[in-house]
């Protein structure tokens, strides 16, 4: 899905919750994705991974058969075929029928039916398909649609296109709800090679469930407005009209929408004509669209609204930005409009393939579950992902808009023009877009260095998930992914962020030129068709062969080690001997991996430097190898994985660690900034895995008193989040706060100085981020000056009614002021939230409202999350997760979710992708035996209700809690001693 976005830019949005709360960034194990990027968590690989069947441990290498020679095991119990062998009990369509084109007419009603109170749409559609294998059965997807019986007494009518062949008649027609089919049994066979038309009339509900054809509501000028919009991916086109709803079933779509005067209808194609039409005495408009290109059903979109737009034209492509009238009038679409053309051009050049459609519409929808959706020619966004207002939006809001636009535009080629054959290859689609979004954003905003941020936003974030035994390989078997819920589960951090990380590594070792060349021929060969991921390897190999770059192994062999087995290696470099070795990196060293068919060895490209001097890339192609050049003497140090282009962690012998640390302390500029961030992240995670002592990891933070750059600071905060989660209810908390306050004070003073006492905003993008980091950490650690500042700014706003807080600083300031304040501050923020006309402002308030220390306010806020008139459904789970970031809110949120699980599950289960975030969120502090028991009880109590897309998250939470319990037991005293010593020594 278009960037079913987890929050990628912690800074400035969340991540700023003070003292009490944890930063809402991604923490080593506590994977908190905000609902925005809310996809859910990894497909269940094996429910029993943590305890059962310890065939293979990480210390016992599997036999040396190369992993790619063995097909990935099918260890997913729930994929066993349904007991019945009737074709309509299978989730996948048979191969007998192939659609060619559809004519679809839809009429959504934007007012509720007076008698039933329902919002509905009606429609009729016909599909022309070819019979590829003789059959007397038609299965076509259909979900939650009611059909009108036609003159033949059946739900559909079948005619032959060729008048010489007579179509059999329909013997029986019914709906198969579980597998979501309209089933038509014929009294004779369809003839192979012949074409038929199937026609049906139907009614559906235009519900507020964020899936299929649905409705979104908003208030404008005191008037409640309704729009009809769609979200088809992955399997909800079938909720709008009967269709062969699989990505390989590409067809041409002729769309017609009937709608009220005063509204505009949009779809993938350009509007061809809009004419008056009278239906049942209603005077209406009928808008006919140009036929689409040959495309997949999940990329369709139809929208009816009274939105307005701005437009321009780039290279004959009409670019339009649609949104609520007041948002467009306020200029909130301007930024997106200015950036779309350049990014589109960039991708045309990058792919060497022109954008095939005459128009590119982008529209901001008030209720939208994911971040954005790449419908071909009509991209839908959350408002915060498209609309920018200088007076309200922070730098990180702006960056998010640029990167999401780039992500969606990249899908116009990668995903839309060439589509993966089935959802098991989703990772390639999403991973690719998640990688090149940085390239597109860099083109749009070349001064930002935005490409560096993939390391924090994707690589580090997914390392946390992929270091668990409950992770899963990027690539799934086609047969293992059948049901809609299984498909939805693929939209996770592994697909997006690991996909992006390994593709970035691939592009680097091939060189960008070769990578682009392979992409270009891949897109050319499969345009308007479907591919599987190995087709891309084939084309990249062709590019390698054509350009003659030297690779010891075929692209496919290298990539199989990264794609077909889960996890990643830690590469250990012994600078005394030059021996370099690799091991599967597991955050919990005692956990067991139960997929014995993999050997957990990778073909690892190692970029490196010695004491600041960059060296030639080396390949680690075995479990271990010796590179004499990597031996270091005297004060020399070796640093590997430059700029973290490789998807692996690095460990060194203790001597080299010490020399690196002393390098950091004496002249940290010798080490590239991304690697400074990496040394911290590697050290903390190696310590978590008991590979190095925790004290060594803590020592990497000592140099920070001299560090002014954003990435190392943010990396440190991300890692310390885990310490906050584990210790913010213990005696470690005080000394930890003292130490961190000491470390951050110079940074705080630096920015105070640079900004003329907080009047200006730093020029550089990264400095703007780091200013936020400085303030949020200073306030969080109780630096009095910072807290006073935040309270004063907020009070000025309350008193004067004029908000003079810079948008970059608002999240932090709001949160701190609300935490320090009481009911008055909370109510003030709540009323501003309710009336906010800019989504990114509302977003900042919504997270800050969770910062209060008042229990009753937090409980009431939790109740609000289940009242859609107060908190939109799309925001419900992320709001609950915000509450869990607050140390006081954690247990309240857990009680809340436990008590109402079945209600939440049923009410919000539909199109919602966010259960995994919710479960990970409410359990992230769990670190006691008691909490573990509660969690297990929760799992048992709700076994009958189920956890839907959060199923795996429950198991991951149990695994994580067990690891936390052990970690706290082993580390608490050390950590306490260290903080006490360091806090006093200053």
Ligand X SMILES: *[C@@H]1O[C@H](CO)[C@@H](O)[C@H](O)[C@H]1NC(C)=O
Residues of the shown chain interacting with ligand X in the complex, contacts defined by CB under 6 A: 101-103, 118, 120, 126-128, 146, 197, 203-205, 254
Interatomic CA distance for residues 542 and 718, integer angstroms: 41
Q: How far is the CB of 501 from Zn ion (least distance, A)?
A: 15
Q: How far is the CB of 102 from ligand X (least distance, A)?
A: 6
Q: How far is the CB of 386 from Zn ion (least distance, A)?
A: 15
Interatomic CA distance for residues 832 and 224, integer angstroms: 18
Q: Please tell me whether residue 411 adopts helix, strand or coil conformation.
A: helix
* Residue 101 interacts with which of Zn ion, ligand X, none, CB < 5 to 8 Å by class: ligand X
Q: How far is the CB of 133 from ligand X (least distance, A)?
A: 20
* Residue 82 interacts with which of ligand X, Zn ion, none, CB < 5 to 8 Å by class: none
Torsion of CA 215, 219, 220, 223, to 10 degrees: 100
Residues that bind Zn ion in the complex, under the rule CB under 5 A: 2-3, 430, 433
Q: How far is the CB of 185 from ligand X (least distance, A)?
A: 21
Work out the number of other CB atoms within 10 angstroms of the CB of residue 64.
9
| 183, containing H or E segment | strand 181-190
- The strands making up 302-305's β-sheet, listed across from edge to edge, are 212-220, 223-231, 302-305, 264-267
Tokens of 454: 């993939």
Tokens of 591: 């956990």
- Residue 102 or 647 having the CB closest to ligand X: 102
Torsion of CA 732, 695, 614, 665, to 10 degrees: 70
Q: How far is the CB of 103 from ligand X (least distance, A)?
A: 4
Q: Which residue is catalytic, options 246, 408, 437, 445?
A: 408
411 among the known binding-site residues?
A: yes
Q: In terms of DSSP H, where are the helices of 596-732?
A: 654-667, 673-688, 694-699, 710-727
Q: How far is the CB of 287 from Zn ion (least distance, A)?
A: 28
| CA separation, residue 401 to residues 13, 14, 338, 457, 504 (Å) | 13, 16, 12, 15, 21
Interatomic CA distance for residues 665 and 844, integer angstroms: 37
Interatomic CA distance for residues 557 and 67, integer angstroms: 9
Interatomic CA distance for residues 731 and 733, integer angstroms: 5
Tokens of 660: 């690196």
Q: How far is the CB of 763 from ligand X (least distance, A)?
A: 56
Q: Is the peptide bond before 234 cis (omega within 30 degrees of 0)?
A: yes
Tokens of 24: 């809402």
**Per-residue burial over 557-584, b = 16 or more CB atoms within 10 Å of its CB, e = otherwise:** bbbbbbbbbbbbbbbbbbbeebbbbbbb
229, 303 contact by CB (below 8 A): yes
407 among the known binding-site residues?
A: yes
36 among the known binding-site residues?
A: no
396, 9 contact by CB (below 8 A): yes
Q: How far is the CB of 241 from ligand X (least distance, A)?
A: 12
Residue 205, strand partner residues: 120
Residue 408 is a catalytic residue:
yes
* Residue 433 interacts with which of ligand X, Zn ion, none, CB < 5 to 8 Å by class: Zn ion
Furthest CA-CA distance within the chain: 94
Q: Which residue is nearest to Zn ion (CB)?
A: 433
- Residue 177 or 545 having the CB closest to ligand X: 177
- Residue 201 or 492 having the CB closest to Zn ion: 492
| 971, containing H or E segment | helix 951-984
C-alpha angle 443-446-451 in degrees, rounded to nearest 5:
80
Closest alpha carbon to 970 in 490, 439, 590: 590
* Residue 205 interacts with which of ligand X, Zn ion, none, CB < 5 to 8 Å by class: ligand X
Interatomic CA distance for residues 652 and 42, integer angstroms: 31
* Residue 706 interacts with which of ligand X, Zn ion, none, CB < 5 to 8 Å by class: none
| CA separation, residue 854 to residues 24, 137, 588, 846 (Å) | 20, 62, 36, 16
Chain centroid, CA 825 distance in Å: 33
* Residue 197 interacts with which of Zn ion, ligand X, none, CB < 5 to 8 Å by class: ligand X
232, 375 contact by CB (below 8 A): yes
Catalytic residues: 408
Per the annotation, binding residues are 407, 411, 430
Per the annotation, binding residues for Zn(2+) are 407, 411, 430
């Amino acid at each position: 899905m278009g960037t079913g976005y987890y929050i990628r830019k912690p800074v400035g949005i969340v991540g700023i919750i003070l003292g009490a709360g944890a930063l809402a960034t991604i923490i080593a194990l506590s994977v908190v994705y905000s609902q925005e990027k809310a996809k859910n968590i990894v497909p269940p690989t094996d429910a029993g991974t943590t305890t059962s069947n310890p065939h293979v441990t990480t210390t016992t290498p599997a036999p040396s058969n190369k992993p790619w020679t063995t097909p990935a095991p099918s260890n997913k119990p729930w994929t066993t075929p349904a007991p019945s062998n009737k074709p309509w009990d299978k989730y996948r369509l048979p191969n007998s029928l192939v659609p060619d084109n559809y004519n679809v007419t839809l009429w959504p009603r934007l007012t509720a039916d007076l008698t039933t109170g329902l919002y509905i749409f009606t429609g009729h559609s016909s599909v022309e398909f070819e019979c590829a294998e003789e059959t007397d059965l038609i299965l076509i997807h259909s979900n939650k649609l009611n059909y009108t019986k036609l003159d033949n007494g059946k739900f559909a009518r079948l005619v032959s296109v060729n008048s010489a062949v007579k179509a059999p008649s329909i013997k029986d027609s019914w709906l198969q709800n579980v597998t979501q089919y309209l089933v038509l049994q014929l009294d004779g066979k369809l003839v192979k090679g012949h074409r038929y038309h199937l026609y049906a009339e139907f009614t559906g509900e235009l519900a507020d469930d964020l899936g299929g054809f649905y409705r979104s509501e908003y208030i404008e000028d005191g008037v409640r407005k309704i729009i009809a919009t769609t979200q088809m991916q992955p399997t909800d086109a079938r909720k709008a009209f009967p269709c062969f709803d699989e990505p390989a079933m590409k067809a041409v779509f002729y769309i017609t929408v009937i709608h009220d005067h005063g509204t505009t209808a949009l779809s993938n194609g350009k509007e061809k004509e809009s004419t008056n039409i009278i239906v049942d005495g209603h005077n209406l408009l009928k808008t006919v669209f140009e036929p689409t290109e040959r495309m997949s059903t999940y990329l369709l979109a139809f929208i009816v609204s009274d939105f307005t737009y701005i437009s321009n034209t780039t290279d004959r492509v009409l670019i339009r930005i649609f949104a609520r009238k007041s948002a467009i009038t306020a200029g909130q679409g301007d930024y997106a409009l200015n950036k779309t053309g350049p990014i589109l051009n960039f991708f045309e050049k990058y792919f060497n393939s022109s954008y095939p459609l005459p128009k590119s519409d982008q529209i901001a929808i008030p209720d939208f579950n994911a971040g954005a959706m790449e419908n071909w020619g009509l991209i839908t966004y959350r408002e915060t992902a498209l609309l920018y207002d200088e007076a309200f939006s922070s730098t990180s809001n702006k960056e998010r808009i640029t990167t999401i636009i780039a992500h969606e535009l990249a899908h116009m080629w990668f995903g839309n023009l060439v589509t993966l054959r089935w959802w098991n290859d989703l990772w390639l689609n999403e991973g690719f877009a998640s990688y090149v979004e940085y390239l597109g954003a860099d083109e749009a905003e070349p001064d930002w260095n935005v490409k560096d941020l993939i390391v924090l936003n994707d690589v580090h974030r997914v390392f946390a998930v992929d270091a668990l035994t409950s992770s899963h390989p990027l690539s799934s078997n086609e047969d293992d992914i059948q049901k809609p819920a299984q498909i939805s589960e693929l939209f996770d951090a592994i697909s997006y962020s690991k996909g992006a990380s390994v593709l970035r590594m691939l592009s680097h070792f091939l060189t960008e030129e070769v990578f682009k060349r392979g992409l270009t021929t891949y897109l050319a060969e499969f345009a308007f068709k479907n591919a599987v991921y190995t087709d891309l390897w084939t084309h990249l190999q062709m590019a390698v062969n054509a350009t003659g770059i030297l690779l010891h192994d075929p692209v496919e062999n290298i990539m199989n080690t990264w794609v077909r087995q889960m996890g990643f290696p830690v590469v250990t470099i012994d600078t005394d001997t030059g021996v370099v070795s690799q091991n599967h990196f597991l955050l919990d060293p005692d956990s067991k991996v139960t997929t014995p068919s993999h050997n957990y060895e990778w073909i690892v490209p190692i970029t490196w430097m010695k004491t600041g001097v960059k060296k030639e890339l080396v390949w680690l192609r075995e479990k271990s190898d010796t590179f004499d050049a990597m031996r270091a003497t005297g004060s020399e140090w070796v640093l590997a994985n430059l700029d973290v282009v490789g998807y692996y962690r690095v460990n060194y012998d203790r001597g080299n660690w010490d020399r690196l640390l002393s390098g950091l302390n004496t002249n940290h500029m010798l080490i590239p900034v991304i690697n400074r961030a990496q040394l911290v992240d590697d050290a903390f995670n190696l310590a978590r895995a008991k590979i190095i002592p925790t004290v060594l990891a803590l020592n990497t933070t000592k140099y920070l008193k001299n560090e002014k750059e954003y990435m190392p600071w943010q990396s440190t905060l991300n890692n310390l989040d885990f310490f906050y989660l584990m210790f913010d209810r213990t005696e470690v908390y005080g000394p930890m706060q003292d130490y961190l306050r000491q470390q951050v004070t110079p940074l705080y003073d630096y920015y105070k100085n640079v900004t003329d006492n907080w009047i200006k905003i730093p020029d550089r993008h990264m400095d703007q981020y780091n200013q936020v980091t400085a303030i949020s950490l200073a306030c969080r650690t109780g630096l009095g000056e910072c807290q006073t500042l935040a309270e004063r700014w907020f009070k000025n706003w309350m008193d004067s009614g004029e908000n003079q807080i810079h948008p970059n600083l608002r999240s932090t300031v709001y949160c701190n002021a609300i935490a320090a304040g009481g009911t008055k501050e909370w109510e003030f923020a709540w009323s501003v939230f309710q009336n906010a006309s800019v989504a990114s402002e509302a977003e900042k308030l919504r997270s800050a409202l969770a910062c209060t220390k008042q229990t009753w306010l937090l409980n009431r806020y939790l109740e609000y999350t289940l009242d859609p008139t107060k908190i939109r459904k799309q925001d419900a789970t992320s709001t609950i997760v915000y509450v869990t970031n607050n140390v006081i809110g954690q247990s309240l949120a857990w009680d809340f979710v436990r008590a109402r699980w079945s209600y939440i599950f049923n009410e919000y289960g539909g199109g919602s992708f966010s259960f995994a975030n919710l479960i990970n969120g409410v359990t992230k502090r769990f670190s006691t035996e008691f909490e573990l028991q509660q969690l297990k009880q929760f799992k048992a109590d709700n076994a009958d209700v189920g956890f839907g897309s959060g199923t795996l998250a429950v198991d991951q939470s149990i695994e994580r809690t067990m690891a936390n319990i052990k970690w706290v037991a082993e580390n608490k005293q050390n950590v306490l001693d260290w903080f006490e010593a360091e806090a006093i020594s200053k």
